[in-house]
Amino acid sequence: MAPPLLILQDIHLHLGTTPLLTGATLSVGAGERVALVGRNGSGKSTLLRIAAGAVQPERGSRFVQPGATLRSLPQEPDFGGARTVWEHVAAGLGPADDPHRARWLLDQLGLTGEEVPDRLSGGEARRAALARALAPDPDILLLDEPTNHLDLPAIAWLEEALAGFRGALVVISHDRRFLGRLSRAMVWLDRGTTRRLDRSFSEFEAWRDQVLEEEEREAHKLDRKIVREEHWMRYGVTARRKRNMRRVGELAALRQRRREALQATGSVRMAATEAEGSGTLVAQAEGVTKGYGGTPVVKDFSTRILRRDRIGIVGPNGAGKTTLLNLLTGALPPDQGRVRLGTGLSMVTLDQTRESLDPALSLQEALVGGPGDQVEVGGQKRHVVGYMKDFLFVPDQARTAVGVLSGGERGRLMLARALARPSNLLVLDEPTNDLDLETLDLLEEMLAEYQGTVLVVSHDRDFLDRVCTSVIVAEGDGRWQDYAGGYSDMVAQRGRGVEAKPAEAAKPAAPKGAPASPAATAKRRLSFKQQHALETLPDRMAALEKEIATLRQALGAPDLYARDRARFERFTAALTEKEAALAAAEEEWLELEMLREEIEAG
């Protein structure tokens, strides 16, 4: 077995007086695909910067195999005074590196190299930094949130490029679909230390939950005192994360209603609209057209949005997603056609830049809107500390200045502010940026319970699948099409994912077979085995839930451990086994149910 290319051993580092890393380790071998995961603020980016040699730990060792080349993509690209993008990319090349590869990468990423760094958008800056990191074809590649600010075509291109990358890869990302395709090993950074799972991301969350549940049981067994807030942060989200049958069923019902609404829109749109009761109709677009400089951005688009719809708007950068969003919400008048808004709309917008946050305010002041300790949520007063805990903040952070919060914490704060304000229409622009996996789960749960309507612009395919009742897609030349279901449903119906704009379509190499697989899925039937599983799994899950309840009741006996330790351990092992079996059954049922929906939609 070849020796590791990169080793971090017993890494310690403090953030002020707070320990951030307390014995973290990381080992990366040739060709390995490692995902580094953990909560926002857990130290993932810091550990990756230590791996890159940009930060020195207080204690511990770093080893890089002599002769091995290493390149990194930081979360915030630093252009270091470069006058052009090409100057920035070329500065990262070694004597033996091929500048033609760097030029090719820039072309694939939609850049010329003549762009001025100070004038780049967030997506352009990320693509320039990716070109610099990938150009030398290094032995070790460290990527910190590489998909942030990228549109769907760029993400698809990057997935394909990294799938063919021959070196070792360590990546931090919140994009489940991205991690699921590229990861082969998981390193979980939690409370300063690391745990490793030599399996793909698809198996990580179940493993993590099992670790936390065993830890909680052990703490309870030994009668250890657990701080209440820390207990909620570690175990509460895990419990809420599990996708239950009610939530899946409600989303399926909403998607079915959306299909029926879309079918009705094409025939008796105005009659149906006039018949809607007050507050049921949110927005009605009739033959809407909008253009700039003679170029149509939206052309002859019609749709109807009803209360509780969750509409995703997707397309490449520059396709006009913001324009369409502004048309549907009445912020922008159409050149032709008509947009009719429902009565009594109360809209709240979450912007992706977080610019509306005053860095000088404390977290508590930002939530309350000034002095005081009460925040109004859904028409009721709540203590701000209790509301903070809903968004994974601990009481000690109440006086923390907004300016020192991490990107993920600022994202959580923006969500808390937006969801506290009374509304029946939420407009979310890239809400998943900088959020960790646990916070994404929390956001999805809150959106599932939200009784109003949601319009969301996002490049996160898994988020769109879990939240949306329909997806509006840019088809090119100003044409937009509404598809019932999430992103995967759209791909199944459309036969392909989101492509780059026509002017750029020849530049990035299209992922081989990426759109074909879902289309093929839509054409085939469920096998006898799949159909049988779909029919029998609900009964199996119900039986497992009954067995789990019985075991929990038996383990709840206060004297069981002291009276019969062997029996206690046997019941504990059985409980772990049954819970894992239930999680696997739920996951299998969900996948089969989504497959069935895709086939019927096709």
Q: Which residues are annotated as a binding site for ATP?
A: 38-45, 315-322
Residues with Cβ within 8 Å of residue 459, at least 6 apart in sequence: 147, 150, 151, 152, 155, 314, 430
**Separation CA 324–CA 479 (nearest Å):** 11
Pairing relation of β-strands 168-172 and 33-37?
parallel
Give the three-state DSSP class for 225. Answer: coil
Contact 150, 134 (CB under 8 A): no
What φ, ψ does residue 302 adopt, rounded to 5°? -135, 140
Tokens of 82: 């470069």
Count of alpha carbons within 13 angstroms of residue 595, beta-carbon side: 18
Contacts of 489 (CB under 8 A, 6+ apart): 255, 465, 471, 483, 597, 598, 601
CA distance 112 to 114: 5
DSSP state of 81: T
24 touches 194 (CB < 8 A): yes
Q: Where are the alpha helices (DSSP H) in 117-268?
A: 122-134, 152-163, 176-182, 204-221, 228-231, 237-241, 245-265
Distance CA(328)–CA(305), nearest Å, equals 9
Q: Which two tokens stand for residue 340?
A: 């009719």
How far is the C-alpha of 305 from the C-alpha of 165, rounded, in Å? 43
Binding-site annotation: residue ranges: 38-45, 315-322
Query: Cβ contacts of residue 567 below 8 Å, gap of 6+?
Result: 560
